[in-house]
Amino acid sequence: MGRWEAALRFIGVGWFIAISIVLGVWGGLWLDTKFGTAPVMVIVGLILGLVVAFYGVYRMLLPLMRNKRDKENS
């Protein structure tokens, strides 16, 4: 994997984190206005966005970690 490919993958990871958190908070805000439960749903949306972000980052970076381990073992 070239340097540019790795750099682009990390940029994609950053965008994924940002979008996951923003969508979670936005969804929580929308639900709060719909049901009048402020700030409960915003907090739930934030937590859900963080969980999705961390799981997604793990899944995205797993191939990079495997490639590095394979190169070290050979």
Could you read off the pLDDT of 49-64 as tens digits, one per residue?
Answer: 999 999 999 998 888 7
Q: How confident is the model at residue 18 (pLDDT cuts 50, 70, 90)?
A: very high
- Residue 60 domain-assigned (yes or no): yes
Residues 6+ apart with CB under 8 A from 26: 45
Q: What single letter denotes the amino acid at residue 17?
A: I
Residue 1's pLDDT is 64
- Residue 32 domain-assigned (yes or no): no
Structural domain tally of the chain? 1
Q: How far apart are CA 57 and CA 67, in angstroms?
A: 16
Q: How confident is the model at residue 3 (pLDDT cuts 50, 70, 90)?
A: confident
Is residue 27 pLDDT above 90, yes or no? yes
- Residue 29 domain-assigned (yes or no): no
Q: Structure tokens of 32?
A: 């709060």
Residue 74's pLDDT is 67
Task: Give the structural domain span for 49.
Answer: 38-65
- Residue 59 domain-assigned (yes or no): yes
